[in-house]
């Protein structure tokens, strides 16, 4: 069975690539930013297989859905996926939430209402869960649960929220209408094998008629396992051929955790967190001149300052940032073992976001880094989408089994 998807706010394609790897066939990829669209188009021109058949629509999602061929897009559509712009809720933004013109959650709900997908995957920043946004976050979740209960003209979101709450109280399972079972989860990408400590909110919904009970996949990687690998067994340093005299001491803040692990005497059940050293293995040190390796050119001028100290080599990277006006902040830096710093190259950043080495990021260093800073790590996108795909396929199998049983009973009667 072929599963189908529509991707909103696609950016450079991190989530869309993960969805494609999970087995979905993309019917539309919608993104307003020309640079990001050019990244996808450039990879199509280069013959990158995962994106070859993507129909790329450059433009505003609001205008696209107004003019879209709903019958062609929405017929048996399995999934709508996307990350609405995060700036209204970002820790580094202006925190305007619903007052920010870039708040695309209402149009996301509108797309879901019109296309009626069997499931959706929505990703956003951790800042969405801040106490200051609590009511609006709950409003978003409730509106996703009941997408057909639209906001009236001139009705504020808070009045609409109260109406949704009343509807939820009186709603019966037998009632007609489009409803979803919605599951929000705050996730650290490092716990799923991404070499980056990147906390993001995933909101997953399954159409109620699918009868799916879903929960977020279990963590596969952990800090405890990394510390055990580095300073209990030393296997990490052996694997990277780091001489004992060059191995750093454990950070003081982690000594208590390390002593606990030594006391347990058993290795952790998870795999170790992936580090920057793991991610950049076999990549040569970059230079300012052009490199034969795609997107691997040194950007000079890096410096550390308070609040922007870079990422140590032997831990997952700090969260890659898109920066202000496309210029990344100091957190997009590597801290070498000798304490010096340099910027990550675009290719190194792509690895930290688990993009494949054959995928090219279009534009200047700052532009490519902006795209990567806004992206969903491809590996994390695949983990989530694969779990959603599994549950959709099982739901389809149950329907077929019930239909087959009913047919047999009817023939016997």
pLDDT reading at 203 higher than 80: yes
If 0-12 CB within 10 Å is exposed, 13-18 middle and 19+ buried, where does residue 9 land? buried
Kindly give, in sequence order, each residue whose CB lies less than 8 Å from that of residue 103, ignoring residues fewer than 6 positions away: 84, 85, 88, 96, 97
Least confident of 173-182, 296-305, 404-413: 404-413
Sort strands 271-272 and 221-222 into parallel, antiparallel or unpaired: parallel
> Measured on CA atoms in the order 324, 326, 331, 333, is the torsion positive or negative?
negative
Which whole number is the average pLDDT over 124-133? 89
Which whole number is the average pLDDT over 216-228? 96
Q: Domain extents for the chain?
A: 3-219+377-402, 222-269
Q: What is the pLDDT of residue 324?
A: 52
The 3 state secondary structure assigned to 221-271 is EEHHHHHHHHHHCCHHHHHCCCCHHHCCCCCHHHHHHHHHHHHHCCCCCCE
Which whole number is the average pLDDT over 59-70? 92
Q: What span, in angstroms and rounded, lies between the C-alpha atoms of 180 and 139?
A: 14
Beta strands in 62-155 (DSSP E): 79-82, 119-125
What proportion of the chain, given as a percentage, has pLDDT over 90?
A: 71
Q: What span, in angstroms and rounded, lies between the C-alpha atoms of 136 and 103?
A: 11
Kindly give, in sequence order, each residue whose CB lies less than 8 Å from that of residue 235, ignoring residues fewer than 6 positions away: 229
For residue 355, which of 382, 335, 323 has the smallest C-alpha distance? 382
Sort strands 199-207 and 119-125 into parallel, antiparallel or unpaired: antiparallel
Active site residues: 86
Please provide the DSSP assignment of 328-396 as one string: --TTSEEE-TTS-EEEPPHHHHHHHTT--TTPPPPS-HHHHHHHHHTSPPHHHHHHHHHHHHHHHHHHH
In tens, the pLDDT along 253-265 reads 898 998 998 888 8
Per DSSP, 181 falls in state: E
140 close to 98: Cβ distance less than 8 angstroms: no
Q: What is the pLDDT of residue 173?
A: 52
β-sheet with 311-312: strand ranges across? 311-312, 333-335, 341-343
In tens, the pLDDT along 138-189 reads 999 999 999 999 999 999 899 999 999 999 988 765 456 899 999 999 999 9
Q: What is the pLDDT of residue 296?
A: 96
Q: What is the pLDDT of residue 239?
A: 97
The CA–CA distances, whole Å, from 203 to 117, 144, 158, 253, 389 equal 14, 9, 21, 33, 15
Q: What span, in angstroms and rounded, lies between the C-alpha atoms of 65 and 61?
A: 6
Q: What is the pLDDT of residue 93?
A: 46
Q: What span, in angstroms and rounded, lies between the C-alpha atoms of 370 and 153?
A: 36
Q: What is the pLDDT of residue 330?
A: 63
Q: What is the pLDDT of residue 101?
A: 54
Confidence tier at 127 by pLDDT (50, 70, 90): confident
Q: What is the pLDDT of residue 221?
A: 97
Per DSSP, 219 falls in state: P
CATH topology of domain 3-219+377-402: Rossmann fold (3.40.50)
The CA–CA distances, whole Å, from 19 to 144, 194, 230, 295, 338 equal 20, 16, 33, 24, 40
Kindly give, in sequence order, each residue whose CB lies less than 8 Å from that of residue 206, ignoring residues fewer than 6 positions away: 118, 119, 180, 181, 212, 214, 388, 391, 392
Q: What is the pLDDT of residue 4?
A: 96
Which whole number is the average pLDDT over 19-29? 96
Task: Work out the widest C-alpha separation in the chain, in whole angstroms.
Answer: 81
H or E, element range at 412:
helix 378-412
Q: What span, in angstroms and rounded, lies between the C-alpha atoms of 14 and 19?
A: 9
In tens, the pLDDT along 67-125 reads 988 888 877 899 999 999 855 554 444 444 445 455 899 999 999 999 999 999 999 98
Q: What is the pLDDT of residue 329?
A: 59
Please provide the DSSP assignment of 22-89 as one string: TTEEEEEEEE--HHHHHHHHHHHHTT-GGGTT--EEES-HHHHHHHS-HHHHHTT--EEEE----TTT
Q: What is the pLDDT of residue 90?
A: 47
H helix runs in 154-201, sequence order: 157-170
Q: What is the mean pLDDT of the chain?
A: 90
């Amino acid at each position: 069975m072929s599963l189908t998807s529509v991707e909103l706010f696609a950016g450079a394609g991190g989530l869309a690539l993960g969805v494609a790897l999970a087995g979905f066939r993309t019917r539309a990829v919608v993104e307003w930013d020309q640079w990001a669209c050019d990244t996808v188009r450039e990879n199509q021109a280069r013959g990158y297989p995962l994106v070859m058949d993507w129909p790329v629509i450059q433009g505003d999602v609001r205008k696209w859905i107004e003019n879209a061929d709903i019958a062609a897009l929405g017929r048996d559509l399995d999934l709508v996926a996307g990350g609405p712009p995060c700036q209204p809720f970002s820790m580094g933004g202006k925190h305007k939430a619903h007052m920010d013109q870039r708040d695309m959650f209402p149009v996301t709900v509108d797309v879901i209402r019109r296309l009626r997908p069997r499931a959706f995957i929505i990703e956003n920043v951790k800042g969405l869960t801040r106490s200051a946004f609590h009511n609006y976050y709950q409003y978003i979740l409730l509106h996703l649960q009941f997408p057909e209960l639209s906001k009236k003209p001139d009705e504020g979101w808070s009045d609409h929220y109260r109406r949704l709450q009343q509807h939820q109280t009186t709603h019966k399972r037998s009632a007609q209408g489009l409803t979803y079972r919605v599951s929000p989860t705050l996730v650290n990408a490092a716990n799923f094998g991404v070499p980056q400590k990147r906390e993001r909110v995933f909101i997953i919904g399954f159409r109620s008629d699918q009868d799916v009970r879903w929960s977020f996949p279990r963590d596969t990687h952990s800090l405890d396992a990394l510390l055990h690998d580095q300073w209990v067994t030393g296997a990490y340093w052996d694997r990277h051929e780091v001489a004992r005299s060059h191995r750093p001491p454990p950070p003081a803040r982690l000594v208590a955790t390390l002593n606990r692990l030594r006391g347990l005497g058993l290795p952790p059940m998870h795999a170790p967190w992936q580090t920057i050293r793991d991610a950049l293995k076999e990549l040569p040190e970059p230079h300012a001149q052009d490199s034969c390796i795609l997107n691997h050119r040194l950007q000079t001028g890096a410096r550390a300052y308070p609040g922007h100290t870079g990422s140590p080599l032997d831990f997952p990277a700090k969260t890659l940032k898109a920066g202000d006006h496309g210029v990344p902040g100091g957190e997009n830096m590597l801290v070498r073992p000798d304490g010096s710093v340099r910027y990550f190259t675009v290719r190194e950043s792509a690895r930290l976001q688990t993009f494949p080495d054959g995928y090219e990021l279009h534009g200047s260093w700052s532009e490519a880094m902006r795209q990567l800073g806004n992206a969903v790590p491809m590996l994390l996108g695949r983990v989530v989408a694969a779990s959603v795909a599994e549950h959709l396929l099982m739901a389809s199998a149950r329907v077929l089994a019930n239909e087959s049983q009913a047919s047999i009973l009817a023939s016997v009667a």
